[in-house]
Structure 1
Amino acid sequence: MDRERSVRQLRLTGETVEIAKALGVEVWLRGGWAVDFFIGEVTRDHADIDWFA
């Protein structure tokens, strides 16, 4: 697993949620990252972060 990429994607996810919250925009994770957050652990490398807004 590419730990550096996962850490970067987690940081970007947090930043995106904070920006969206400040703007009053609701966002939801989709795809693999949504599953990982649901189960509470990173299960695999992710090529991207899927969002729904």
Structure 2
Amino acid sequence: MNGYIAQDVLNVIFTKLLPYLVPVLFLFMTALFSERLIDIIVNAVTAKTRKRR
């Protein structure tokens, strides 16, 4: 019985909710990656300005 419930839950997630989840997950990943990328750039720029002084 539990196998059927788990299979039905996965079926609902992947057939009905996946078109809505993919853009949301993409936005979250983009936001997290861009924040990390900006942090790396800022750290590199500030490290270069510290070395020049």
Output the TM-score relative to the length of structure 2.
0.43
User: Which structure has the bigger radius of gyration?
Assistant: 2
Structure with more helix by fraction: 2
User: Could you say which structure has the greater relative contact order, defined with CA pairs below 8 angstroms and 6 or more residues apart?
Assistant: 1
Between structures 1 and 2, the one with greater strand share:
1
